[in-house]
Amino acid sequence: MELIGVDVASVRQVKVFFERSIQLVDTLIHETEGLPLLAPGWIDLQVNGFAGADYCSPVTSHEQIAISIRAQFAAGTTRLFPTVITGPPEDMVGALRNLARAKGSLPEGRAMEGFHVEGPHISPDDGPRGAHPREWVRKPDIDEYRRWQDAAEGAVKLVTVSPEWPGITAYIEALVSEGVVVSIGHTKANSEQIAAASAAGATMSTHLGNGAHADIDHHSNYILDQLADDRLAAGFIADGIHLSPSFLKVALRSKGVERSILVTDAVIPAGCQPGLYRLGTQDVELRDGNRVTLAGTDRLAGSALRMDRGIEHLIQVGGISLPWAIAMATRNPARAGRVSSRQRGIAVGDRADFVEFQYDPERNSLTIERTWLDGEPVYTRT
């Protein structure tokens, strides 16, 4: 197979030869007008559900999961980490088991690169806890982690924890020793606890800037501590709802775009009509303007963001270039999430996951033309 387009990272017109992986990348001798832009497929490290499928539920049908993945293909996403949030132990294990079976049986399942467990070892406080149900927050338990991995057939690749818990450094060290990425999130940890978590091997911050107290110290707090720690890459929900323009700009400048990651934190109503939906053990509401809240409240409960819309927002509001925004959706999450053969861009040996798209700089809009997964077209715009 071959593709011809403009490599967004190098701005070269290239012909890419591939099977399941990239065999050759050749620069065109003669420039051609009207070629599509070409980039690696997007990678979303935090997606709780999409298009009516709840990844946190142990009874979500595999048909619903397949539909949700195809909907993400249409947005340019080729690899995702389905995310299971804080809930009853049996529900979390059941959700992971259900996802693992879908991963192994569905044609679309190979897009599920690994699973992200967000909680339950997070802060119980209002604010840092976010929309996670308080009654199921609990202390770190390595035996519980083993049950997750058993149910997930070893596919738990990312775990979000709060470093405020006693014994957390040993827990982090144990997970990291098995190749699991540990991320700091939903926390009220102090500076020493965050530094200790980084020293123990934590390498990410989960949706930094969200899941926090309404009032925090202006000069010393867990958001600034994570921004200042160069050992931590950071995920950002760039939907225009979760983060103010000023915070997004300052955070990108502080963390550095090379350590910044676009995530959706999408939940079940993403891509659906406004209304009530079930997320894990709680009801959520998709309101006009793509705002998702716990039903009957103004508390955010995930997002309805698509990755392509997030890239647009990074450019328009974050003030970064198209190539850097694409890096935040491709190489950066691949490196932070340890996604093998996806960390160099369009390069020989990397997997043949591509997005062909058009970009209108006047309107700051992306139009996905085709999406490829493992060398096969999985979406074509009609």
For residue 115, give the CATH number of its domain. Answer: 3.20.20.140
Residues in a beta bridge with 227 = none
CA–CA separation, 226 and 206 (whole Å): 10
Q: Does the active-site annotation cover 265? A: yes
* pLDDT at site 36: 97
With respect to residue 206, please indicate whether it lies within any of the assigned structural domains: yes
* pLDDT at site 279: 86
* pLDDT at site 63: 98
Which pTM value belongs to this model? 0.97
Closest-CA residue to 51 (of 235, 337, 227, 305): 305
* pLDDT at site 281: 84
Parallel, antiparallel, or unpaired for β 37-40 and 354-360?
Answer: antiparallel
Assigned token pair, 152: 């997930």
* pLDDT at site 280: 83
With respect to residue 141, please indicate whether it lies within any of the assigned structural domains: yes
CA–CA separation, 50 and 303 (whole Å): 10
Which residue out of 7, 91, 225, 265 is catalytically annotated?
Answer: 265
CA–CA separation, 100 and 336 (whole Å): 22
With respect to residue 216, please indicate whether it lies within any of the assigned structural domains: yes
The segments of the chain whose pLDDT lies below 70 read none
* pLDDT at site 317: 96
> Going along 176-263, which residue ranges are E strands?
181-184, 204-205, 233-237, 260-263
CA–CA separation, 221 and 218 (whole Å): 7
Number of domains in the chain: 1
With respect to residue 12, please indicate whether it lies within any of the assigned structural domains: no
The three-class DSSP label of residue 327 is helix
With respect to residue 356, please indicate whether it lies within any of the assigned structural domains: no
Q: What DSSP state is assigned to residue 36?
A: P
With respect to residue 297, please indicate whether it lies within any of the assigned structural domains: yes
With respect to residue 359, please indicate whether it lies within any of the assigned structural domains: no
With respect to residue 16, please indicate whether it lies within any of the assigned structural domains: no
- Give the domain range for residue 187: 41-340
